[in-house]
Amino acid sequence: MRAPEFWNQKHGRGAAPLTRALLTPFGWLYLAVSKWRYDRHVPEQMPVPVICVGNITLGGTGKTPLAIAIARYLQANGKSPAFVSRGHGGKRRGPLQVDPQTHSFEDVGDEPLLLAKTTATFIGRDRVAAAHLAVQSGAGCLIMDDGFQNPSLKKDLSILTIDAAIGHGNGRVFPAGPLRETVAGALKRADAVVLIGDGDTPDLAGFTGLIFRAGLQAKNSAPAGKLVAFAGIGRPEKFFDSLRDAGADIAQEIAFADHHPYQNKDVQNLLQWAKHNQAKLITTEKDMMRWPQKWRKELLIWPVELKFANARSLPDLLQGVIAKCQ
C-alpha cells in the first residue's frame, strides 16, 4: 500500500483531520490487540545474542541498510552473523535458509533476498524456529531485520530506526497514522535509536539510551544521460531525492506501493516511458529483487549504504553484545 499523505502531517488540510478522527478508534483497537499479543508471550532466550533492528512506524526508515551495516561490521571483526526475517511478501512459511540462486521474492520476500547478499539469511513465520535453524547452521549471533514488535525472541540489543525527515509522522497509531505502537511504549523497550537522514530530532521524551545519526549514501556516482526513476519502497521520494542530489537528470519519477510485485505490464509500461523520454530506467536494489529476471539487463541500479555521522558509532552501538557474538 501507499502511505496516505495525512500520515505524515500533524494537522493537514481538507478531509485529513476528519479522516484521522474517524480512524482513531480503529487505532485504539489495533494498539490493544498488539499489546495483548506482546504481553501474552514469554520470549525465548537463544544461545547466541539477538540484535533487533526495527522501527515504530510502518514503511521504510532505513532499517535494512542498518542491519546490513551491522552484519558487515561483525564480519569484519571475525564474527558469524545471520539474519532472521519473517519473509514478508513470500509464500514459503519456512523455516528455511534463503538461497538467492533458487528462491525468488515470491518465495521468501524481497528484503531477505537482499540481505542474503551479505550473509546467511533465514526466514520463517515462526521466528523462533528460524532462529534455531540459523544457530544450528553455525550463526554466532542473530540480526532481526524488523521484529521490534514481535515478542517471540528475547533481544539482547533492540535498535529503533527513525526517518529524521518525518519523525513520528502525525503521531497517531495505524490506521489513523503510521505508528505501529505508541512512541512511549516503543522507547521503553529500545536500547538505542538511530536517526537516519536529515531532520530535527523527534520527540524522544524519557529515552535514556544511546542516540546516533546516520544517512544513506550512494555507492556510485549518478549515471549519465536522462533517467526514468521508479521505486516501490516505503518512501520512494527518498530515492528520487538521492538521485537528484547526486546530479542525475531525471526525466520522470514513478512511485509504486511498498513491495510492489512488478508484472509484465509494469515492465512494458516503464520501458515505454523510458523510450518516450529517450532515457534509461533506474531503480533501487530492493526493487530489482522484484523485477522479472529476463528484463534485468534493461535496468540501472542505484545502490546505497548506511554511513554513520561518527566513525565510533557502530563500535559504541554494539559494545554490549559484540564480545558475546561468535
Q: What is the pLDDT of residues 173-213, one digit of tens each?
A: 888 888 999 999 999 999 999 999 988 899 999 999 999 99
CATH of the domain at 291: 3.40.50.2300
The verdict on residue 116 lying in a domain is no
- What is the structure's pLDDT at 176? 85
pLDDT tens-digit readout, 158-178 = 999 999 988 998 888 888 888
| Whole-number Cα distances in Å, 172 to 56, 72, 187, 211, 285 | 11, 35, 16, 23, 31
The verdict on residue 256 lying in a domain is yes
- What is the structure's pLDDT at 50? 98
Nearest to 192 by CA among 180, 204, 200: 204
DSSP H/E element including 196: strand 192-196
Q: How confident is the model at residue 143 (pLDDT cuts 50, 70, 90)?
A: very high
Same domain, 63 and 207: yes
Mean pLDDT over residues 112-130, rounded? 97
The verdict on residue 278 lying in a domain is yes
Looking up cell 529476471 gives 293
Identify any residues that bridge with 308 across adjacent strands, giving them in sequence order.
214
Compute the distance between CA of residue 297 and CA of residue 274 in angstroms, rounded to an integer.
14
Residues 90 and 96 sit within 8 Å (Cβ to Cβ): no
How many domains does the chain divide into? 2
Same domain, 297 and 230: yes
Compute the distance between CA of residue 172 and CA of residue 7 in angstroms, rounded to an integer.
8
- What is the structure's pLDDT at 126? 95
DSSP H/E element including 164: none
Nearest to 83 by CA among 55, 41, 111: 111
What's the sign of the alpha-carbon dihedral 312, 318, 319, 325?
A: negative
Give the DSSP letter string of 107-151: HH-HHHHHHTTTS-EEE-SSHHHHHHHHHHTT-SEEEEES-TT--
Residue 161: all three cell numbers together: 530506526
Within 8 A by CB and 6+ apart from 210, the residues are: 191, 192, 193, 316, 317
pLDDT tens-digit readout, 69-107 = 999 999 999 999 999 999 988 999 989 999 999 999 999
The verdict on residue 87 lying in a domain is no
Q: How confident is the model at residue 226 (pLDDT cuts 50, 70, 90)?
A: very high
Mean pLDDT over residues 269-286, rounded? 95
Residue 180, SS3? coil
Res 15 pLDDT > 70: no
How many CB atoms within 10 Å of residue 220?
11
Mean pLDDT over residues 283-296, rounded? 94
Mean pLDDT over residues 20-24, rounded? 77
Same domain, 292 and 144: no
The verdict on residue 102 lying in a domain is no
Same domain, 148 and 265: no
pTM to 2 decimal places: 0.92
| Whole-number Cα distances in Å, 228 to 164, 223, 252, 269 | 27, 11, 5, 12
Same domain, 205 and 149: yes
Mean pLDDT over residues 29-38, rounded? 77
The verdict on residue 65 lying in a domain is yes
Q: How confident is the model at residue 16 (pLDDT cuts 50, 70, 90)?
A: low
Residue that wins the pLDDT comparison between 61 and 1: 61
- What is the structure's pLDDT at 109? 95
Same domain, 283 and 150: no
Residues 115 and 139 sit within 8 Å (Cβ to Cβ): no
Same domain, 212 and 226: no
Q: How confident is the model at residue 26 (pLDDT cuts 50, 70, 90)?
A: confident
Same domain, 249 and 144: no
Mean pLDDT over residues 275-281, rounded? 95
Residue that wins the pLDDT comparison between 12 and 177: 177
Res 9 pLDDT > 70: no
Residues 301 and 247 sit within 8 Å (Cβ to Cβ): no
Mean pLDDT over residues 227-249, rounded? 92
Mean pLDDT of the chain: 91
Res 277 pLDDT > 70: yes
State residue 222 phi and psi, 5-degree precision: -65, 135
DSSP H/E element including 227: strand 226-231
Res 29 pLDDT > 90: no
Same domain, 291 and 168: no
Res 234 pLDDT > 90: no
- What is the structure's pLDDT at 28? 81
What domain range is 224 assigned to? Answer: 220-302
Q: Which of 16-20, 97-101, 297-301 has the lowest mean pLDDT?
A: 16-20
DSSP H/E element including 249: strand 249-255
- What is the structure's pLDDT at 81? 98
The verdict on residue 96 lying in a domain is no
Compute the distance between CA of residue 227 and CA of residue 278 in angstroms, rounded to an integer.
8
- What is the structure's pLDDT at 13? 52
- What is the structure's pLDDT at 21? 75
Q: Give the strands of the sheet with 304-308, arranged side by side.
A: 96-97, 121-123, 81-85, 141-145, 50-55, 157-163, 192-196, 210-218, 304-308
